[in-house]
Amino acid sequence: MEMIRTEDLTKQYGKLFALKGLNLSLNEGDLFGFIGPNGSGKTTTMKILATLLQPTWGEAYICGLSIYTRPKEIRRQIGFMPDFFGVYDDMKVIEYLEFFASAYRIRGAARKKVCDDVLELVDLGYKREALVTSLSRGMTQRLGLARVLLHDPAVLLLDEPASGLDPRARIEMRELLKRLGGRGKTIMVSSHILPELADICNKVGIIERGDLLVNAEVSEIMKRVRDRPVLIVELLDSADGGASGARTDTALKFLSDQPEVESAEWKKGQIVVTVKKGVPLDAYAELLPRLIAEGFRIRSFREEEINLETAFMTLTKGMTA
């Protein structure tokens, strides 16, 4: 089921385009990473989808509902967490959640249960009686996420949820998003820090100056970035586990002469082998037994992984000003 759809969505301020003709489609259960530098249009997009900002032109639908004609119904279907949000300093954590639950018209025993459930989900049950002001930045972000989950929305719009968090809190936030994705919710999560989203998203959009440069599944993006495998070979020819000198030169020449290999070069203590385009896995996998047969002692033989940061730099090279 299509949960988010935009059609030529545009926001203009005078001569400045904050968003240019955004076309996007997300289905139920998608975890969409919205990547781009600060000022690229991520927050503008989310505010429009949350019905907090009117586009200059274009259309957007949430759960099949138009942002122009059904904004109140859309707000019942979404949970929007801005990058910075206010909290009530004189409230306890449980009081803060109960206040918002009552605003969602959740009453009585149901309100107590839903507040307890979301606190457990975001691992803040032990802080229920603590004052909101006593929470760390990471805890405050998790409390904000708990707040937008109170009414069990189908769509989550999370604007830089890991902003300002320390490394441990970032990992905890990623794990929490994974759990929410496993519950079938459609999640749009933005970040300007690329590796944050690499392990949790099934779809990624890369936006720059209001233009959506890339919009595809993560697997498709990786294929577009690299159309041929790159292998990393480490030789065990010295006491420190590295390789050097004449033996390395011999290995480089041997690999360069193989019919499947486009190039072989020495980089940072490793041999980097680029395989020719179109060579199947079973063909270049034969390189390992050939190396062993030639007497080379192999410490490691693996295919180089591509991360989202590498993909971003490759796909946007020459595309942005």
Report pLDDT for 29.
Answer: 92
Predicted pLDDT at 241:
42
pLDDT single digits (tens) 124-143: 999 999 999 999 988 999 99
List the domain boundaries for the chain.
Answer: 2-224, 227-305
Amino acid at the residue 220 = E
CA 224, distance to chain mean position in Å, is 18
Q: What is the pLDDT of residue 240?
A: 46
pLDDT of res. 86: 75
CA-based torsion, 114, 117, 123, 127: positive or negative: positive
* pLDDT digits (tens), the chain, 321 positions: 899 999 999 999 999 999 999 999 999 999 999 988 888 899 999 999 999 999 999 999 999 999 999 999 999 999 999 988 777 778 999 999 999 999 999 999 999 999 999 999 999 999 999 999 999 988 999 999 999 999 999 999 999 888 778 888 888 888 888 888 888 899 999 987 666 676 788 898 989 889 998 888 877 777 776 667 889 999 986 434 444 567 888 999 999 999 999 999 998 889 999 999 888 888 888 999 999 999 999 999 998 876 666 666 666 654 443
CATH class, domain 2-224, is: alpha beta
As a whole number of angstroms, the distance between CA 291 and CA 296 comes to: 6
pLDDT of res. 316: 63
Query: Using one digit for the tens of pLDDT, what is the confidence trace for 254-268?
Result: 999 999 999 999 988
- Exposed, middle or buried by CB within 10 Å (0-12, 13-18, 19+), for 213? middle
The pLDDT of residue 220 is: 77
Widest pairwise Cα distance in the chain: 78
What phi and psi values does residue 101 have, to the nearest 5 degrees?
-60, -40
Indicate the pairing of strand 186-191 with strand 31-35.
parallel
Q: Which CATH number fits domain 227-305: 3.40.1050.10, 3.40.50.1820, 3.50.50.60, 3.30.70.100?
A: 3.30.70.100
302: helix, coil or strand? strand
- Predicted pLDDT at 243: 45
